[in-house]
Structure 1
Amino acid sequence: MGTFASHRLKNIRTLSNQVSLNGYKEPSQSHPCEKDRISELPDDLIHHILTFLSTREAARTSAQSHWSVNKWTFLECIKLDIDWFHLDREKFCNFVDKLLLSRDNVNSPIDTFQLSSHAIDRASTWLDLAIKLNVKVLKFSEDRRWEPFYLDPNLVVFSSQYLKTLDLSNAVLDAIIFDQLNNACPALENLMLSDCLMEVQQISSSSMKNLNLIGCSFIKDLSICSPNLVSLRIKDQRMGNSSSKNSYLVFGTITLIDASNVEIMELSAIDSMFTFVEQDGSSPMFRNLRSFRLGPWCIDDNFLPLRRFLQHSPMLEMLFLKLSVTTSEPPSTDGETRQERSSTAIGWLRSEASRPLITLWPREKPLPPPPSEATIAAATA
């Protein structure tokens, strides 16, 4: 960006910091030049400068200058947070309505739309408007101090040729919503759900490559049949200083039907049960799996689940076992504690020459990020 544009951007940031979104203007020293020079800039230059500002800064700048709302609603990345308005729902709703309706009137598509809300019924309608504006990245988070937000399929329709990434937190999703995600979003590649309540029986998007289910509750048994999945993570969120208030904690059985292209997988949700369907006459289920992380469930029944998964993972290079090492757990029916069974499992794995590098992680410690290809190569050399 040139010197002139940089100077204008600095002035705009200064002005935006003098105006709050609820209309309050902070006192400032009088200046000999009170003329609004920013509004005199060409529209193209204003639009270019605004691309370097956040939505909040752009809105404040608009309030300071005498612009029409169209000047700043051309932003391709829109991030909205009710905390900006000190949880004042009425002012927040008016602000978002004005922004999205203006975008709709000028037919300006959105690249990214991120909404942090708190018990606002209109949130479903706003998400629907963003989808109709061909948003590519859609993120929604309901305040964790509140109940999970129900995404009403009568108000929001997940049908889009453009939606590539969907990130939802503290929401309720039913079978209708997932039917749309499975069949009406052909470009959807990334689905991230955190602390969500899921009343769904199948995830079967053929375009999906990355699926993260973090701290979610499953009301019904769930099957996953997405043949192009490359990364799959199903884990808990209930550790550390998590403030999650989700008290449902319902866990069904999760069945993998097609995970043949998955390279990185984590199945460490403590209270969930995982299994997979063996296809007659087909190649091993996890034939491309390189990195695998499992929870304590894998060593139950004389670690039979672990044996089954490893038998179908011929290319596995890195195995993380996220097991409890506390001594307070009751012994199993055969008299062994989980700690003793963990040691047995590790010994069995290391006794096989063809087994991968094994790392044991105590449950109370967070797992590290997935290993890079260079790390895997160095570890297995």
Structure 2
Amino acid sequence: MEMEAAPKRARAGGGSAPDRLSALPDELLHHILSFLRSRQAVHTTGHSKRWIDLWRSMPAINLNIKEFKCGSPAPGQCGKAARWGRMENFTANLLMRHRAPRLDAFRLSTGSVRVDWRRDVDRWISRAIEYRPVELHIRLPAARLGAPYQLPKPFSCHLKRLVLSGVSRCPVLEDLQLWRCREFSGLHSDTLKKLNVVDCSDGAADKLVIRAPSLASLYLSLHRNGVLLYTEKFLAEAWILGSDQLSRRGEAILLGSLFNVTGLELVCFSAMAILHEEFDKSPVFDNLRTLYLDGCFYSKSDVNKFKALGRLLQKLPNLEMLTLKDFWLVI
């Protein structure tokens, strides 16, 4: 069985080289192994009697379909189903024999998942949640599933950091990354401090609504229907990517909602958003110290560019640093 890798003896010129790593305490060895993918970690621990059972108590489990590539030219052994079978066998054994009381991190990256494989994913995640992981990383492309993957219930509340790709139903966290999550219309969290939202949408929702009074860091690729952002005085930095699909009024409203931010980077924002009457209603950006504009204020008229820049600067009384990149970009 793959989990029981036989120990191998190091040989160099007929003798064994000193094994200084094995003299390290388990805690440090566990930390080293946590940087490896789980299959590699299991194979690594099989090289020494001192290490042989360390995989059973690793604080991090990293499962990636890329580790289960074809190792045999035999027909039928290199397809996706065969690779999934190898991953399922390894993962089932690993989770069954793992004995750590809890996990620092559980990471799962599967590539394309067929509908009939969802039960395997449910089982792995449900078992991982029993270890109360502090960090959870899940990457599941939704294309083959026909719908976003939903995390099994009940879901853990012990998480401090969550990274999701192609997954819906998101709990309250301090650090949340959402990539390509469909049916995502917003979130409300009193504790969220860091938020990354990229290519997430809900066709039925008018706007993406984010209520995060404790938010300190925001990375946002604009929702096509606009964004309503509710934050408080803690917002230290924000990176916002504009969108041609969003109205200039929508861009102006979003920009106005960032009035508490200290450092702001805007990418591909339109000059007409700043010149829109909606931006006139925005509060003064008293906290803003650094502003980075990348490819912003695109307009056929240079006059509009300078008007927009001037109007924006009027609302930034305490600005200390301004960076303009591709300001003369012709559209």
TM over 0.5: yes
Unmatched runs of 5 consecutive residues or more in structure 1: 1-19, 183-187, 237-249, 278-283, 327-335, 366-381
Q: Which is worse superposed, 122-131 or 311-320? A: 122-131
The secondary structure found in structure 2 opposite 1:199 is coil
- Decide whether the 8 Å contact of 2:272 with 2:297 is kept in 1: no
User: TM-score, normalised to structure 1's length?
Assistant: 0.63
Q: Which is worse superposed, 50-59 or 94-103? A: 50-59
* Displacement after TM superposition at 1:68 (Å): 11
2:148 maps to 150
Change (3 A) 1:315 1:65: closer
Aligned ranges 1:167-178 → 2 under 5 Å: 167-169=163-165, 171-173=166-168, 177-178=169-170
* Displacement after TM superposition at 1:98 (Å): 1.3
Change (3 A) 1:144 1:150: closer
Change (3 A) 1:209 1:140: same
Aligned ranges 1:95-106 → 2 under 5 Å: 95-103=90-98, 106=99
User: d(CA) in 2 for partners of 1:30 and 1:265?
Assistant: 55
2:64 maps to 81
- Decide whether the 8 Å contact of 1:124 with 1:156 is kept in 2: no
- Decide whether the 8 Å contact of 2:193 with 2:215 is kept in 1: yes
1:176-200 per-position Cα deviation (integer Å, ceiling 9, x unaligned): x13xx14xxxxx2000122x13313
2:294 maps to 322
2:189 maps to 205
- Decide whether the 8 Å contact of 1:229 with 1:262 is kept in 2: yes
User: d(CA) in 2 for partners of 1:22 and 1:108?
Assistant: 21
1:269-305 per-position Cα deviation (integer Å, ceiling 9, x unaligned): 324444659xxxxxx9656421122344453252445
Aligned ranges 1:157-196 → 2 under 5 Å: 157-160=154-157, 162-169=158-165, 171-173=166-168, 177-178=169-170, 181-182=171-172, 188-194=173-179, 196=180
Change (3 A) 1:255 1:71: same
Number of positions where the alignment pairs a residue of Structure 1 with one of Structure 2: 294
Q: Are 2:324 and 1:360 equivalent residues in the alignment?
A: yes
What root-mean-square deviation, in Å, do the aligned CA atoms of Structure 1 and Structure 2 show? 4.2
* Displacement after TM superposition at 1:133 (Å): 0.9
- Decide whether the 8 Å contact of 1:259 with 1:285 is kept in 2: no
* Displacement after TM superposition at 1:340 (Å): 4.9
Letter in 2 for 1:342: K
The secondary structure found in structure 1 opposite 2:178 is strand
- Decide whether the 8 Å contact of 1:111 with 1:137 is kept in 2: yes
Q: Percent identity?
A: 20
Change (3 A) 1:25 1:147: farther
Letter in 2 for 1:128: S
- Decide whether the 8 Å contact of 1:168 with 1:193 is kept in 2: yes
1:15 maps to none
Unmatched runs of 5 consecutive residues or more in structure 2: 70-79
User: TM-score, normalised to structure 2's length?
Assistant: 0.71
1:8-30 per-position Cα deviation (integer Å, ceiling 9, x unaligned): xxxxxxxxxxxx9998999x999
